[in-house]
Amino acid sequence: MALMLKGARLIDPQVGLDEVADILIRDGVIVEIGHDLEMPKGVERDLSGKIITPGLVDIHVHFRDPGFEEKEDIISGSRAAAHGGFTAVCPMPNTKPVIDNAVGVEYVKSRAKDAKCRIILCGACTKDLAGQVLSDMGDMHASGVKAFSDDGRGIQDAGMMRRVMEYASQFDAPIMLHCQDDSLVGDGQVNEGAASTRLGMIGWPAVGEEAEIERDILLCRLTGAPIHIQHITTARGLDMVRAAKAEGLPVTCEVTPHHLFLTEDDITDQYQTSLKVNPPLRTADDAVALVEGVVDGTIDAIVTDHAPHTDWEKDRPFEQAPFGMVGLETSVGLVLTKLVDTGIIDYARMIELMAVAPREILGLEPVKLEAGSVADLTVIDPDVSWTVSRDDFYSKSGNSGFLGWSLKGRASDVYVGGYSTMEEGVVVD
């Protein structure tokens, strides 16, 4: 099949490209990029006024499949991903049962055949996320796993964390780390400090995150294993990563839009459970530091930590409601509105954060706007204005902390291997 995408602005910092041009695609691969291209037969689309980037990738999502499909499943999650502009996502293995063996991996692979985006496989570090016994990492890697994570529960024992790093090193697969010291965090609900005092809730101290970031950087130095700090939230934690990078250690990190654009001050009463996330929303100073980390390169990737829950779960009192919010369908609009349109970063930096670095972190083949590259592409309409509404979501869940926000810019079309998974804002069935 031949496909011609005409007249869009093509941006790819990997190849120094930023110009209006055409893309010719055949059999899922970019054949040619140029001006006034022609093809004898095929589908042609006029994308004038829009922007084409290498396909966006989210390396931190929760699809709840198997075990919690009432919240989300691989198919519904992939539809939400396509609607958000993503060509690939990496679901975390904290399902029920946990993806801690090759059988679980094969289940995900079987479900992924019908997904609307590529599903990157991730396996647990330890059996049942219990932090006691190593998972079947070798078998899972042989089945296609690209990374390992006990996301949702930090590995508490330093000796076990060292063994995980040493074992994973032989596969050249990064460990994606949920840094949380349970002895410090305890039953924390919101950031410890002004928010916990004002709301009368148990505080979640920043040091509960920072202590494990420091520990895991030390173990990275010891083992040489590549590590990836998930959903970083504090200025001090970011300084630790910055220092580790300066030392040359194989350390990367990610941030979510909700930790960039929301703070503890946004939680004004005990009923805003959509703002209950793990780790919690931090201070305004922390948010400023995170934005600086996005600008200066300390932060490698923007991810969503898409964490769907049912209405009845989130409708419970704050202390009883689960942690997490959905994010796949708002991420691009938030980044465009809050970072790109304000001039804090440009499109090239956005693409590095949301398309290039995520692939590099997981050791995936790069996708570039050049001949010979697979045609995984995201098309962005930079001018469309829209309001975040649950009625607009393809996700099964609507627990977003951004409902009602007015945004400018969003993905309009998505191509995976040259085939459209979304056209003009509608996911293709």
168: confidence class by pLDDT, cuts 50, 70, 90: very high
Element (H, E) at 142: helix 137-142
Residues in the chain: 429
What is the reported pLDDT for 270? Answer: 83
Structure tokens at 217: 């950087």
Whether pLDDT at 1 is above 80: no
Contact indicator for 101, 89 with CB cutoff of 8 Å = no
Please identify which of the residues 305, 376, 381, 413 carries the catalytic annotation: 305
Geometric angle at alpha carbon 427, from 426 and 429, rounded to 5° = 125
What is the distance in angstroms between the CA of the first residue and the CA of the last residue of the chain?
18
- The pLDDT of residue 172 is 85
Is the per-residue pLDDT at 180 higher than 90?
yes
To the query of whether residue 305 is one of the catalytic residues in this protein, the response is yes
Alpha carbons 413 and 317: distance in angstroms, whole number: 39
Three-state DSSP class for residue 40: coil
235 or 429, higher pLDDT: 235
Which residues touch 235 (CB under 8 Å, ≥6 apart)?
Answer: 285, 286, 289, 290
| Tokens 């929303």 belong to residue | 281
Collapsed DSSP state (helix, strand, coil) of residue 385: strand
> CA 219, CA 125: separation in Å to the nearest integer?
15
pLDDT at 91: 98
Find how far residue 196's CA is from the centre of its chain: 28
Across the range 333-355, mean pLDDT stands at 98
User: Quick one: pLDDT band at residue 40, thresholds 50, 70, 90?
Assistant: confident
Q: Are strands 51-54 and 377-387 parallel, antiparallel or unpaired?
A: antiparallel
Local confidence band at 337 (pLDDT 50, 70, 90 cut-offs): very high
User: DSSP 3-state assignment of 139?
Assistant: helix
| Whole-number Å distance between alpha carbons of 124 and 155 | 11
Rounded to 5°, the CA angle 284-57-300 comes to: 45
Instruction: State whether residue 1 is helix, strand or coil.
Output: coil
Helix (H) or strand (E) holding 245: helix 235-247
- CB contact set of 282 (below 8 Å; sequence gap of 6+): 191, 206, 233, 234, 259, 263, 264
What's the pLDDT tens digit per position in 223-276?
A: 999 999 999 999 999 999 999 999 999 999 999 999 999 999 999 988 899 999
Which residues lie closer than 8 Å to 335 by C-beta, 6 or more apart? Answer: 257, 302, 350, 353, 354
- Interior CA angle at 84 toward 253 and 345, to 5°? 50
Q: Are 387 and 407 in contact (CB under 8 A)?
A: yes
Instruction: Express each pLDDT in 376-407 by its tens digit.
Output: 999 999 999 999 999 999 999 999 999 999 99
Which of 371, 342, 373, 343 has the alpha carbon at shortest distance from 355? Answer: 373
Tens-place pLDDT, residues 47-84: 999 999 999 999 999 999 999 999 999 999 999 999 99
Per-residue pLDDT, 271: 84
Distance of CA 373 to CAs 206, 213, 229, Å?
Answer: 43, 36, 29
CB count within 10 Å of CB 299 equals 24
DSSP of 208-236: HHHHHHHHHHHHHHHH---EEE-S---HH
Give me the chain's average pLDDT, please: 97
- Average confidence (pLDDT) over 189-213: 96
**Which pLDDT belongs to residue 387?**
98
CA distance 332 to 376: 17
Cross-strand partners of 306 = 61
Strands laid side by side in the 56-61 sheet? 56-61, 86-91, 118-119
